[in-house]
A and B are shown apart, each in its own frame.
Chain A
Amino acid sequence: MRKVKNKKAVKRLALKSFKANRTRNTIAVAAIVLTAVLFTAIFTIGIGIIIQTERSSMLQAGGDAHGAIKDVTQDEYDILKKHPLIKECGRDIVVAHSVNNKEFLKRHVEMHYIDKEFYPHWFIDIIGGKAPEAADEILMDEKSLQLLGIKPEAGSKVTLEIQVLQQSKPLKRTFTISGVIASSEAMNVGFAIMPQAYIEKYADEMEAGRKDVLSNTGKISMQVIFANSMNIQDKLDQVITESGFSTSGESDNYIESNANWAYMSGGMQSDPLTTIGIVAALLLVMVAGYLIIYNIFQISIIHDIRYYGLLKTIGTTGRQIKRILRMQALWLCFAGIPLGLFGGFFAGKFFFPIIFFTGTTGTERNISISGFLNPWIFIGAALFTIITVLISEWKPGRIAAKVSPVEALRYTEHGKKNKKLKKTTDGGKITRMAFSNLGRSKGRTIIVIFSLSLTIVLMNSVYTITNSINRENFLSKMILSECIIGNAVLWNYHYYPYNEKEAEEQGLSESFISECTKQEGFKEGGRIYMCENVTMPVESFEIPDNIERDKNGVPGEYSPELKEFFPLAGYEGGEYIARLHGIERFVLSKMTVTEGEKDKDIIWDKLQTGKYIIYAVDVDDDNSIIESSVKHHAGDKVTLKYNDKNIKEYEIISVVKGHSYSLTSRMTSNFPYYASADEFKKNLSDKFLMSFLFDVKEGQEDNIEEFLKNYTSEEEPLMSYESRKTFEGSFNEIVGMITIVGTSLSGMIGLIGILNFVNIIITSIATRKREFAMMEAIGMTKRQLAGMLRAEGIYYAVFSIIFSLAAGTVFSLLALKSIAKSIWFIQYKFTLLPVIIACPVLLAFGALVPGIVYRLRKKESITEQIRE
């Protein structure tokens, strides 16, 4: 093909016809803005979720460095840091093996030296004062200082009992607080950060630590940041080998390294549900955007078809016409996208916390929403919008490009010659005529009906889901009593003490319980003790046939979450780990007995004899028993071995339904048993106090909630609690989230649908101007014309309603029902209420819009209109 300099001419043509299409441009820009808003909002939320997930894993991992090269000397560090792959690096040196102040028994404090420039990467956030400089200055976290009873502010003195090496004697050193840092929300650990002067002053201690394999003291951990977070381990290895060291453990100059796991696990892969949700939302927006933008272009091109025919006649090629249209589409994008990005970003920022933090309680919420201005949000949203616009423009562009110059002059929307005769004689009735008009462009009519229905079906789905949420199911699944208190670790799934010392760190304090019982609103409560240092000899338990087996016939349990089969195996010496609980009477009253003795009083009497225990079966999300994991029945004999020596046999008096949140440590066990508290304490210890369940007098819920909140934040910050009240809060939040997100999404899609409808009406009135004038000439009054248009609008509404009813029913029964089934607190209830509510709105809308548009049109005399 010859190269022709026609760019200018084509551009001029595009610009001229662009300017002539003012109405189309306005509607198209509005549609593009809406589409871009939706895309941006989705991208903001999606990227926000990735960032936050990563950040919260990093908070747990301790920092956002890509990886660490471990245990290097200062010389090695200086060599390694020159490697070109490294963008940034810093030293982290542990300066003490432990800090032994007794206040830190439950919440340890780590003492580090960290390069000052690297503070931000360690999330060291100085909330008061400044970084330490002199050897006797120190940065400490707020909570640690509170535990010591020291006012968390610069200038305070703090004395720490430092044990430098594992074997060394603790030393007392007093420091001046130079600054206070925020406590880590993700880790139950405190930090003391020392300055360069400290490691210089105590260089001998560091040196000693470096030589001691048992201590971490003095060892430099090199924190590394690369240009990006891809293939971190490979890059670490490359840095090490190319700097002349080895990554092989046998080698003399071996250097160990590891990537920050936060970068391995975070992100989208770990959460398929979010990924699916976001992809579905993107598709939905794309469809909605396509429906309208396609329609706008289609209409405008049909309208201007003679113009394109003319262009063809004078020698414009199809390719050039396509280019003209593509240019116009892109101009419209440039006009619409910036506004959409702007609006969408704020919409996304508004919705993000609602979506992300819903259902979570406590600490996670405090993560600051920073780093939100991610360029990918805007690049992604803009790209998706442009793609949607170009896809929408593609087919109309082809029509314009393919038009034959001769035919264009005769082109009407009746592209296909109608072969069928119309055997009616009453088509002249206004309503019949309106009906026939709908059929003039079936494709367009279908698109309008479809886009209006999309909104209604979406709204119906949101309502069906929120309406199906079962409050009582949700609450009783989360909590059995009004309140439950325990050590904060219980909620981090960290309560599994094996000895009394661990139990002291992980257990609930008696002081908290007694404060609770002193409250006016306190009604009744009961303790749960729990310990897993109890075993069951393998030979004493015969695995029943109902237990799930893998393909080799090995009994065990398949975990759908981990996609792994866990064989029911004895622990080392051929014993099963059992989990024994000791309960007080109140706890028994909260249990649901499924088998054996039903009378709670009789059960209690038997438990107290010390000869009987209760066995709890696993239940699924719907609270029905998982038969394949039932290991005992009432009457079975169970042999338990305490502390590896004392063996005792019990009979199972009853079987109850397990409840991982309220009756045990939030994790399931293969062999959960419940003895009376006294029996438990007799055989183990009263130190294994896991939780305390209690009910509250009616009307006192708010007071108790207030008390628990204050007590756990001020008196005993290591303790925590949960109550029906908090769950009611998060329950309402979940319902609120689904409602807000669903309603706004369907609102936006609805807006697109309405815009589409208005566009159709405007263009149908504009393109049929001549026809209307002729109708007036032969005697159709303006009122009759308006009536016909109104009838057309009502037909759109009626068809949309019929379609919504059908599609809503089908979608509800097929998709929503199965979605509801997969979410345990949703009990599917069929409803079409929103569709029914939408009916009058849609009808009013269909009846009003055409009339308004008709009245607003340019006033021209009939002759002027006919002449066009």
Chain B
Amino acid sequence: MEILKTQNLKKYYGVGEVCVKALDGVDFTVERGEFVSIIGTSGSGKSTLLNMLGGLDRPTSGTVIVDGKDIFSLKEEALTVFRRRKIGFVFQSFNLVPVLNVYENIVLPIELDGNKIDKNFVDSVVQALGLKDKIYALPSQLSGGQQQRVAIARALASKPAILLADEPTGNLDSVTSQDVLGLLKVTCARFGQTMVMITHNEEIAQMADHIVRIEDGKIVNNYGEVGFNA
């Protein structure tokens, strides 16, 4: 079952001579429960693609369908609400709210939605990410790896349709990176979570079920793998 689908997605910056085609007709789909990594060099358009998938930026043309909904048909406010219900984000720079403690950060999206917190679920996520004894700590009291684990927990806590990770280990050393990625993968698998991760690191990309390679705004498929339409 498709959870994410893009159709002829284009993002152009500028016009005429100086027109930069950050995305130039991208079509791909992600099935429920899949772990997909998008790999590309810097400037290849991978971050732009992820931002489109998450509804953070609007495309020049084309559609993104998440869980059966064309997200760009939504108005600004509705899109934000849709995002907090259906999409979880993990950023390279953990982006935790400095004045909130770990627990509060994790449940923030749920609270923003005004929903009741599924305490058992949150607890199990916290447990799975090894944050049990850190729930009252402020972000400034945590290490980078711990902060990123909090960010992952926050992304998972609202049970999104899809989790988008943008270079989640970009700010971490290699040992911590392995830890965090391992946890990410295990946790996603355990909770049946679909995940799209972008990276420029081949090794990390290899951990995914599928790899999408992007170059100059277009998808290139070196490996001829099945499962998506390149």
Instruction: Please report A residues at the B interface, Cβ cutoff 8 Å.
Output: 412, 414, 417-419, 421-430, 433, 436-437, 439-440, 770-771, 774-784, 861-863, 866
Contact = CB atoms under 8 A, between A and B. Distances in A.
A781 B77 contact: yes
Nearest to A427: B104
B3 interface: no
B36 to A, nearest CB: 20
B80 A424 contact: no
Given A421-B138, A779-B84, A863 B108 contact: no
Contact of A425 (B58, B76, B81, B104): B104
A863 B109 CA distance: 19
Contacts of A425: 103-104, 107
Interface in B32-60: 47, 51, 54, 56-58
B101 A421 contact: yes
Nearest to B76: A782
A862 B51 CA distance: 9
B99 A780 contact: no
A425 B135 CA distance: 9
Interface stretch (B89-97, B173-181, B185-193, B210-218): B89-97
B113 interface: yes
Contact of B77 (A424, A774, A782, A866): A782
For B77, B91, B95, B158, which residue has the most chain A Cβ atoms within 10 angstroms? Answer: B95
A421 B137 CA distance: 5
B56 to A, nearest CB: 5
Given A428-B112, A436-B100, 8 more contacts: A414-B98, A418-B138, A771-B98, A778-B112, A780-B80, A780-B112, A781-B81, A863-B56
A774 B91 contact: yes
Contact of A779 (B80, B103, B137): B80
A862 B57 contact: yes
A428 B107 contact: yes
A427 B100 contact: yes
Contacts of A430: 112
Contacts of B109: 778-780
Contacts of A776: 80
B104 A418 contact: no
Interface string B86-129: 00110100010111110111011101110000000000000000
Nearest to A778: B109
B12 interface: no
A454 to B, nearest CB: 28
A782 B83 CA distance: 13
Given A774-B95, A778-B154, A417 B140 contact: yes
B21 interface: no
> Top 4 A-B pairs ranked by shortest CB distance?
A779-B84, A436-B99, A427-B104, A774-B95
B137 A863 contact: no
Given A414-B98, A779-B112, A424 B104 contact: yes
B77 to A, nearest CB: 5
Given A425-B104, A437-B99, A771-B97, A778 B77 contact: no
Contacts of B81: 779, 781
Given A428-B111, A780-B80, A784-B112, A433 B101 contact: no
Given A778-B154, A862-B56, A440 B84 contact: no
Given A414-B98, A421-B101, A866 B80 contact: no
A440 B98 contact: yes
A519 B226 CA distance: 118
Contact of A781 (B57, B80, B97, B105): B80
B57 A861 contact: yes
A782 B99 CA distance: 19
Contacts of A433: 97, 99-100
A32 to B, nearest CB: 33
Contacts of A414: 98, 140
Contacts of B112: 428, 430, 778-781, 784
Nearest to B47: A863
For B101, B112, B137, B158, which residue has the most chain A Cβ atoms within 10 angstroms? Answer: B112
For B83, B99, B136, which residue has the most chain A Cβ atoms within 10 angstroms? Answer: B99
Contacts of B83: 777-779
5 contacts: A433-B99, A771-B97, A778-B112, A781-B80, A861-B56
B200 interface: no
Nearest to B103: A425
Interface string B55-88: 0111000000000000000001100110111001
B221 interface: no
B8 interface: no
A781 B76 CA distance: 9
B168 to A, nearest CB: 14
A753 B88 CA distance: 42
Interface string B146-157: 000000001100
A861 B54 CA distance: 13
B141 interface: yes
Contacts of B101: 421-424, 427
A551 to B, nearest CB: 67
Nearest to B98: A414
B106 to A, nearest CB: 9
A268 B210 CA distance: 88
Contacts of B77: 781-783
Nearest to A423: B136
